Structure 1
Amino acid sequence: MFLRSFVKMLLLPFSCSAFVTRTAGTIGGRRRAPLTRHFFSVSESYLNTNNVRDQALSALSGCGGLKVTVVTARNLVNDLMSTHSLSEVAAQALGRTAVCAVLLSNGMEDRQTVQISVDGGGLLGGAVAICNGAGEVRGFVGNAGLGLRDLREAVGIKGTVQIVKNHPEWPRPYNGITAVQSGEIDRDIGVYLAESEQKSCALAAGVKVEGVLCQAAGGYLVEQLPGCRKEAAKKVQANLQRLVGKNGGDAVPAGLLRSGMEPADIAAAILEGTQGKALGQIEVRRTCVCSEERLLRSIRLLPRHEIDHILMEHEKVEAKCEFCGKVYRMGPDEVRDKLEKATGDPSKQVDL
């Protein structure tokens, strides 16, 4: 019952009203304190006034059976918009995908990664985001300048959601795939978690773009863990139901973040009445791992006659990183010299 109820509530908004008390302490020139309440408390280091910094915060119910992860990522989406010259709908798609990647990677080892690929067959051409356990994100879309306004139309509903989890020390990555059903990305990823990974969870991600700037971006993931008490699960469901409609017209939870709620506020609202506590937080930031060495590895995976043909026809090797836009170029002499000096088996070198 919990699984079915939560899947139905994948995008339910939530809010809070006067459930936080703030006393001593000074942050940004005004007095503030740890969030305090009988059901939730965090230290000052978790506070994030006006969501100035990108943050992923996790919390746990008192019974230990419900984990909540909340992300605010406005700076990340603005950075992606600038890097890829994203249109509004492309920013919506990539922003939601990136936020979901951060949510799913929370709690993993720093070197472990989650890659989300959503391609519903629409004109967007798909969205890809990769995040590791340290909160480092990168991503791209197929058609960055797409002029459509409707996200579902841009993404499409005749395709797949594919999620790959990997680690440098694993013999092979874990792959899962489900069908795109809604084109709203976060709802489709929530369905993936329920169907492919058999997880009881509630997931939402929203991005608010005005003009060339992202005003708010973030999401939440509520997961039921083994040993969850029925009373706690019912309480969290009731909290979400009670808070429906408080988000406003923006995609959940963008409206809440725009109103000034922080991840700690949102986590507290979800866990109200469960004696929740904060687990930890990480900084979310865009990064890229492209390099000339990775380009060389890719070249080495090609048959030598193909490399010679490319050098003869184009007199150079050129490649553009899809994630950051950086262009790498190597002349024929440089390529041949590096190939002569290269050692090891490139097929056994893992790119994460």
Structure 2
Amino acid sequence: MGDYMVRATAANAQVRAFAVTTKELVETARQAHNTSPVVTAALGRLLTAGVMMGSMLKGDDDLLTLQVRGDGPVRGLTVTANAKGEVKGYATVPDVILPANAKGKLDVGGAVGRGTLSVIRDLGLKEPYVGQTALVTGEIGDDLTSYFATSEQTPSSVGLGVLMEKTNTVRCAGGFIIQLMPFAEEETISKLEHNLSLINSVTALLDQGMTPEQLLERVLDGLDVEITDRMPCSFTCNCSKERVEKALISIGKKELQEMIDEDKPIEVNCHFCGKTYKFDVDELKKMEKKSR
């Protein structure tokens, strides 16, 4: 089965939960951007979180953007997701190579460094909702857990994992988000904290072949889990030659004329999926006529 997400409640709706498997979409991103193993892990974790957080959006046209800006060598990560399980993203510097961290694992925190995490929700209003928090570790999961607690006042636990093969392809990827509702009882909170304390590594659970359902059963053991929804998810970019053309028209007559004067075709790359669009001089002239 391909990548998919499950949504659930537990303990009579005192807890809401999300879990997802994302091996294929993270591998698609790796191939699109030719990312190094540590960047694949960093971007893969953010893509995984993006899928789950995107599903929290209400409207079909709503968009979620996660931006990580750090002083580490990767410099930044950007992920955009919608409510339909579609996600895309890229790293500012995709080819960072770092030695393993003290635990012998990919040093995502070292690649990202210190900085900020921004969560932008575009709900079709005049201004998008923007929440921002300082990066705690740069490991992504910890940073999102902190974001939910500080910016949204929602006690949460975010577990994310990406494991690489020796061939640098993605072996497994996925994760979970667990959130307590305001009316959660102490007994429920204690049980959840106990369950989470037994989980050392999301990656290890994924590598055992655990499905999203089994991840939630482990995390929410004894809390009467009820799966409410299943949804396929994928790395999907909605770029097209038409959209790129509109963007070029919007830059104005002067800039387009300068491109025409060079008398050479131009290439435009999509940041999110790496696809290249070519425009010859005649196409540029038609765009110049359409621009203001």
Q: TM-score, normalised by structure 1?
A: 0.75
1:236 aligned counterpart, secondary structure = helix
Residue 141 of structure 2 aligns with which residue?
Answer: 186
Q: Does the CA-based 8 Å contact 2:249-2:290 persist in structure 1?
A: no
1:111 paired with 2:61, answer: yes
Q: Name the count of aligned residue pairs.
A: 283
Where do residues 208-219 of structure 1 align in structure 2 (5 Å cutoff)?
Answer: 208-211=163-166, 212-219=168-175
Between the aligned partners of 1:235 and 1:341, the Cα distance in structure 2 is 63
Identity of aligned residues (%): 29
Between the aligned partners of 1:292 and 1:223, the Cα distance in structure 2 is 40
Between the aligned partners of 2:234 and 2:184, the Cα distance in structure 1 is 32
RMSD, aligned CA: 1.9
1:273 aligned counterpart, secondary structure = coil
Residue 176 of structure 1 aligns with which residue?
Answer: 131
Where do residues 317-332 of structure 1 align in structure 2 (5 Å cutoff)?
Answer: 317-332=266-281
1:305 aligned counterpart, secondary structure = helix
Between the aligned partners of 1:303 and 1:53, the Cα distance in structure 2 is 43
1:155 paired with 2:112, answer: yes
Where do residues 130-279 of structure 1 align in structure 2 (5 Å cutoff)?
Answer: 130-149=80-99, 150-157=107-114, 159-167=115-123, 169-211=124-166, 212-241=168-197, 243-245=198-200, 252-279=201-228
Between the aligned partners of 1:79 and 1:56, the Cα distance in structure 2 is 17
Between the aligned partners of 1:237 and 1:324, the Cα distance in structure 2 is 38
2:262 aligned counterpart, secondary structure = helix
User: Offset of 1:339 from its aligned partner?
Assistant: 4.7
1:297 aligned counterpart, secondary structure = helix
Q: Does the CA-based 8 Å contact 1:63-1:232 persist in structure 2?
A: no
Between the aligned partners of 2:229 and 2:81, the Cα distance in structure 1 is 17
Which ranges of structure 1 fall in alignment gaps of 5 or more residues?
1-51, 246-251, 346-352
Q: Does the CA-based 8 Å contact 1:57-1:69 persist in structure 2?
A: yes
The letter of the residue matching 2:147 is Y
User: Offset of 1:60 from its aligned partner?
Assistant: 0.3
Between the aligned partners of 2:19 and 2:278, the Cα distance in structure 1 is 41
Which ranges of structure 2 fall in alignment gaps of 5 or more residues?
100-106
Q: Does the CA-based 8 Å contact 1:69-1:106 persist in structure 2?
A: no
1:85 paired with 2:34, answer: yes
Q: Does the CA-based 8 Å contact 1:63-1:228 persist in structure 2?
A: no
User: Offset of 1:179 from its aligned partner?
Assistant: 1.6
Q: Larger Cα Rg: Structure 1 or Structure 2? A: 1
The letter of the residue matching 1:118 is V
Mean alpha-carbon deviation: is it higher for 124-133 or for 331-340? Answer: 331-340
User: Offset of 1:341 from its aligned partner?
Assistant: 5.0
Residue 72 of structure 1 aligns with which residue?
Answer: 21
Between the aligned partners of 1:339 and 1:66, the Cα distance in structure 2 is 55
Mean alpha-carbon deviation: is it higher for 88-97 or for 118-127? Answer: 118-127
Q: Does the CA-based 8 Å contact 1:64-1:227 persist in structure 2?
A: no
Q: TM-score, normalised by structure 2?
A: 0.90
User: Offset of 1:231 from its aligned partner?
Assistant: 2.2
The letter of the residue matching 2:215 is I
Q: Does the CA-based 8 Å contact 2:162-2:172 persist in structure 1?
A: yes
